[in-house]
Amino acid sequence: MSEMILLKNLSLTYAPGTPLQRQALLGINLSVAKGEYRAVIGPQGSGKSTLLQVMAGLLTGEGQVTVGGKDLRLPKNRHNLWRQVGFIFQYPERQLFEDTVFNDVAYGPRNLGLNEAEVQRRVMAALAAVQLSRDVYHLSPFKLSGGQQRRAAIAGILAMEPDILLLDEPTAGLDPRGKGQLMDLFSHLCRQKQVTLVLVTHDMEEVAHRADKVTVLNRGRVVMEGSPREIFCCRKQLEDVGLALPFAAQLANALQEKGLPVRQMTTLSEAEQEVTRLLT
């Protein structure tokens, strides 16, 4: 099968049997194909981070979870998943700990048991990919700016050359330029290297422009799934779960409400074409 991630009837409850019991995921069915770019969106507390942690083998629930062909119900498969799956959670820079940026990025590849020449190759490639300048490679990660620390932490994951990348709001708090560069990098890995991506984000423009497919979560359930075009057509349904539309879709709605004959649009380039068509 070309499925890299397959969830069947997955449910997860935090602190079961205690007064703090919380059902975070309920009856999730989801499959992500090899090389796919999947976006996961949903309001705060809808279960996005929990879902990614299940895919990363860090949390277990009820139901079937198969990632990279491995059944994660088996503890052995969960424990070995780090070799194949890169997980970039919110504020990954909090996990930096080595004496230099280079050694931090090398930590994972060294644990894979690769020879030092291969470790070097991977570290240099990963640091170049995240566009960190060479003069910081031998500095302590704690001497870097917040944005540079984020890049260093991401390089550490990329140096593992994972088949699957799970990204939980990886660009939160970065400036637009830094954000754009990293999103371009993730797209490149997906499109050129067939890395399977699952991205949790609040950025509807990114979703509209880049994702193959979107999964919408609300209160621990999948409430919508489809292409960005299909999802962003359903304005009412999205508003009901408290999500905004990307700019182009908002513009289409506003123009339609004025009685103008515009087509549905999702991306900025579609908006540009549509407005040009209207005006000519």
User: By the criterion CB under 6 A, which residues form the site for ligand ADP?
Assistant: 14-15, 22, 24, 42, 44-50
Residues 48-87 vs Mg ion: string with x where CB under 5 A?
A: xx--------------------------------------
Q: How far is the CB of 47 from ligand ADP (least distance, A)?
A: 4
Among ligand ADP, Mg ion, none, residue 57 binds (CB under 5-8 Å by kind):
none
Q: Which is nearer to ligand ADP, 5 or 136 (CB)?
A: 5
91 Cβ contact partners less than 8 Å away, ≥ 6 residues apart = 150, 172, 173
Q: How far is the CB of 6 from ligand ADP (least distance, A)?
A: 20
Among ligand ADP, Mg ion, none, residue 46 binds (CB under 5-8 Å by kind):
ligand ADP
CB atoms closer than 10 angstroms to residue 174 = 17
Tell me the site size for Mg ion, rule CB under 5 A.
2
Among ligand ADP, Mg ion, none, residue 246 binds (CB under 5-8 Å by kind):
none
Among Mg ion, ligand ADP, none, residue 24 binds (CB under 5-8 Å by kind):
ligand ADP
- Residue at 104: amino acid letter: D
Among Mg ion, ligand ADP, none, residue 42 binds (CB under 5-8 Å by kind):
ligand ADP
Residue 271 has which token pair?
Answer: 């908006």
Distance CA 218, CA 72 (A): 24
Q: How far is the CB of 44 from ligand ADP (least distance, A)?
A: 5
Q: How far is the CB of 173 from ligand ADP (least distance, A)?
A: 16
CB atoms closer than 10 angstroms to residue 240 = 11
Q: How far is the CB of 256 from Mg ion (least distance, A)?
A: 33
Q: Which is nearer to ligand ADP, 147 or 220 (CB)?
A: 220
Which residues does residue 225 pair with via DSSP β-bridges, in sequence order? 215
45 scored as a contact of Mg ion (CB under 5 A): no
Q: Which is nearer to ligand ADP, 19 or 113 (CB)?
A: 19
Q: Which is nearer to Mg ion, 49 or 84 (CB)?
A: 49
Q: How far is the CB of 225 from ligand ADP (least distance, A)?
A: 16
- By beta carbon distance, the residue nearest Mg ion is 49
Q: What is the 3-state secondary structure (H, E, C) of the chain?
A: CCEEEEEEEEEEEECCCCCCCEEEEEEEEEEEECCCEEEEECCCCCCHHHHHHHHCCCCCCEEEEEECCEECCCHHHHHHHHHCEEEECCCHHHHCCCCCHHHHHHHHHHHCCCCHHHHHHHHHHHHHHCCCCHHHCCCCHHHCCHHHHHHHHHHHHHCCCCCEEEEECCCCCCCHHHHHHHHHHHHHHHHHHCCEEEEECCCHHHHHHHCCEEEEEECCEEEEEECHHHHHHCHHHHHHCCCCCCHHHHHHHHHHHCCCCCCCCCCHHHHHHHHHHHHC
Among Mg ion, ligand ADP, none, residue 35 binds (CB under 5-8 Å by kind):
none
> What are the residues binding Mg ion (CB under 5 A)?
48-49
